[in-house]
Structure 1
């Protein structure tokens, strides 16, 4: 290829990419401003307060249960570079917020409501299905899309407050005493709270990322299904899939696999170990169309800069 041809190719990219991005952003703006209607709903309720978790590098230990030779081993921990911001409710869903859904007959009454609980007390005594009903109701009321976070997203948002459930025993260790002692110490750390009664918002502090009250005495439902993997056989022991899963991960001071219909964790549904004090939830706000396009544009530009493409474009334009 001649130098002239190479310059022409880069110049073509310099024109095509901005024009394509401009076209997409124009379409997004038309939708957002109402010139184009794609069924957007009118907001009838103010959206809950959220925090935006900025993209950053994050180390995550998988919520899946791993086994080798019939013994539980620590799940792998991997480093992930998260590239998109996450909008998540700063506080757990409150009684007052949930009561709006109950009043509209879209959600059932929470179980075991205390007469002394104030409006700003997090709602508890709710099942996984109840949380899904509330997310659907809130989406309809606010015109935004809300959903339960995955275990990964909740760990990412909670940052320093999220627990590491690792036993710390070598996966190849054949000494059962070491494993027994490590498991005993872990369960001792998971002992029930001295005061398990739900507390008002702000009672349990804030994470480095601005998430409030995570890791207090309320465990939060996630959309992550409990799975089990046999490392020795390299097979999944139990993976029912997202539509058939009956056991979901609730996260708090430790992870707890819970049946989706359970509202009172002390009444059963926890697979092993200490049950949660209470079950509640907070939601993630799915980005709107314009936000998604903006994120996409930023990533495209960042990739172009990282790959040296924009630098090459600038050179070709200068040479022209």
Structure 2
């Protein structure tokens, strides 16, 4: 009589790892790639390898009742990040609208090669849900840290650069004024065709261009003590971090930030988005197995 042996995922990984170490690595690494067919064109993506980056944390920080710059810390991205090379275009977005899965964006219809703008956080997540259903892959908005990782050298540090012990509020006000005035002077409210702002070192286009991008990171308010230790934190998941020429926070329903809604600093001119593609379990397994191999065999 045949016997069925059930193994937990942990046992499967352990068994495969042992086989890998025993010299059958070539067979294991050839894990089949997950492929799907779809009537919707698949977005162009770039895969960014894992890395540790120095990142200024998102959130509003205060110490002794005074605003201070968020700390800049080492952040580890443990898995490869697959993200769209370009922002979702108007042509991409209209397919979701035509399918009845997305709402019409605010404003006049745009050329197809322009980024989709006039979209809220809710609109962006609706599009991600529709694209996931159409392609069989899982698409979602990036986190603040993932967006910074993808932005690479084009991520803009929004710190004031002031001495945190400086008690003069006029210095903070002046620093904020000069920073926001410089941003506004360089701002161009008219969206440009995707690719107009060039690519960074990862092959990601239009980072910090004139379209700000939604993330899934919730607004945070953090209180520090005199030793810069966190003593209090609140999170509001109806307001989300938006990335671009500067980082700001926008409520989930806002499509045109210039018409209202809370934000930090100068409101963004345009709201758009790009998505991250979640790795299939086979891809995750292949990556972890490759990490077990000696460096020369990866």
The alignment's TM-score, normalised by the length of structure 1, stands at 0.79
Partner Cα distance (1:297, 1:255) in 2: 37
Partner of 1:294: 286
> Residue 124 of structure 1 contacts residue 278 of structure 1 at CA under 8 Å; is this kept in 2?
yes
The answer on 1:53 being equivalent to 2:45 is: no
1:274-293 map, 5 Å: 274-293=266-285
1:261 aligns with 2:231: no
- Separation of aligned partners in 1, 2:128 and 2:79: 22
Q: Is the 8 A contact 1:158 1:211 kept in 2?
A: yes
1:1-320 counterparts in 2 under 5 A? 17-19=17-19, 29=31, 32=34, 43-114=38-109, 117-191=110-184, 193=186, 195-232=188-225, 234-240=230-236, 245-301=237-293
Rounded to whole Å, the distance in 2 between the matches of 1:128 and 1:159 is 23
Partner Cα distance (1:16, 1:290) in 2: 13
State the shift of 1:141 in Å. 0.8
3-state SS of paired residue (1:227): strand
CA-CA distance at 1:178 after TM superposition = 2.4
Secondary structure of the structure 1 residue equivalent to 2:149: helix
Structure 1 residue 127: Cα displacement = 0.3
Which protein is bigger by CA-based radius of gyration? 1
Distance 1:194 1:183, change over 3 A: closer
The size of the alignment, in residue pairs, is: 276
For residue 172 of structure 1, give the secondary structure of its aligned residue in structure 2: coil
Secondary structure at the aligned position of 1:110 is classed as coil
Residues 29 and 194 of structure 1, relative CA distance in 2, 3 Å threshold: closer
CA distance in 2 between counterparts of 1:17 and 1:283 reads: 32
Q: Which protein is richer in helix relative to its size? A: 1
Structure 1 pair 43–236 and aligned structure 2 pair: CA distance change class (3 A): farther
Gaps of 5+ in 2: 1-13
Within 2, Cα distance between the matches of 1:264 and 1:251?
A: 15
Deviations 1:134-162 (A, max 9, x none): 00100111111110000111111011111
Rounded to whole Å, the distance in 2 between the matches of 1:79 and 1:142 is 35
**TM-score w.r.t. structure 2 length?**
0.84
Give the Cα–Cα distance (whole angstroms) in 2 for the partners of residues 239 and 81 of structure 1.
Answer: 22
What whole-Å deviation, never above 9, does each CA across 1:186-230 have from its counterpart, x for those lacking one?
222221655311111111111122110111110000000010011
The CA distance in 2 between the partners of 1:298 and 1:164, in whole Å, is 34
